[in-house]
Amino acid sequence: MTLARDDLAVASTAKPARWSFDAKALIAAPGLIFMGLAFAVPVLMLIGDSFVDRDGLSLAGYRKVLGDPYYIGIIGNSLQLACITTAVCLAVGYPAAWALARIRGVWQVILFALIFLPLTVSIVVKTFGLTIMMRRDGIINFLLVNLGFIERPMRLVFTEFSLYFGMVNVFLPFMILPLYSVMRMLDPRLLDASASLGAGPVHTFLRVTLPLTMPGVIAGGTLVFSISVAAYVTPGLLVGDRFMTMSQVMAKAYLNIRDFQLGASMAVIMLVISAALILASSYLVRTPGGERR
């Protein structure tokens, strides 16, 4: 009891720990300053423009975007495009990432090359290449006709099929890479243990493989959705004005009709959608105990 009282007395007389500055934090200063000038300041200016028109403070931009069925439909187009692109990339990228994480030797090098090389090519170049492939005299129509699937070449460019095909082609690597980073750390003995306990392939996948790779699924899905919902070049080149997206409205508002408040309001709505998705994904990767995986 005496020791306990002495400890309490020492604790009561001890001075509170002072806040100390770690000089190593200064190493991050250049990067933080650059991000503040190149990202935070323009975003704040964009948000400010969304609340200002020629007469001063106004919510006319948001009323125009959220109150007009035309712009609501455009927001729906962007969300639809992002959701379908993310779903297809996940369906195609999951087995590709699994093969990349499990295969060894020269085949792994070949698969890495097939995945990474498209990232070294500009999106504009890849999209123009897709338009050449999907022309009436392109390779896709040539193969379909000569294999007997169709009798005459069909129009593929400036259709929604070309849009989704191009989006998946461009953004698939961004789904595979996060999945691969998680799958390569998965212990194969866990799958053998599941099989030795009598679980079939489907049960093993649903109860072992999928839960353990879920952080990669969430990270890849968040990344692909965020960049797909803001895509501008690929929809503009592959389908044009037939399928308007939020990015195209922003570009037209700034470059053509010079309605800066409309473009800024649409940009802020896109920013809110992306921020909400990032917050949701951050919550999903937490365990029930509140610790990150």
Residue-wise pLDDT tens digits, 60-80: 888 888 888 999 999 999 999
Phi-psi region of 22 (alpha: psi -120 to 50; beta: other; left: phi over 0): beta
Mean pLDDT value across residues 264-274: 91
Confidence at 15, pLDDT banded by 50, 70, 90? low
What does the pLDDT read at residue 110? Answer: 86
> What percent of the chain is predicted at pLDDT more than 70?
90
Residue-wise pLDDT tens digits, 154-192: 888 888 888 999 999 999 999 999 999 998 888 878 877
Using alpha carbons, select from 201, 183, 181, 166 the residue that is nearest to residue 88: 166
Percent of the chain that is helix, strand, coil (3-state, to 5): 75, 0, 20
What does the pLDDT read at residue 76? Answer: 92
- Whether the per-residue pLDDT at 227 is higher than 80: the answer is yes
Q: Which of 4-8, 20-24, 89-93, 129-133 has the highest mean pLDDT?
A: 89-93
Assess if CATH 1.10.3720.10 describes domain 62-286. Answer: yes
So where are the chain's domains? 2-49, 62-286
Mean pLDDT value across residues 87-110: 89
- Whether the per-residue pLDDT at 141 is higher than 60: the answer is yes
- Higher-pLDDT residue of 192 and 106 is 106
- Higher-pLDDT residue of 240 and 34 is 34
For residue 193, how many other CB atoms are within 10 A of its CB?
Answer: 13
Confidence at 19, pLDDT banded by 50, 70, 90? low
Cβ burial, residue 264 (10 Å; 0-12/13-18/19+): buried
Task: Write out the two tokens for 147.
Answer: 């294999």
- Whether the per-residue pLDDT at 138 is higher than 50: the answer is yes
Question: What span, in angstroms and rounded, lies between the C-alpha atoms of 135 and 120?
Answer: 24
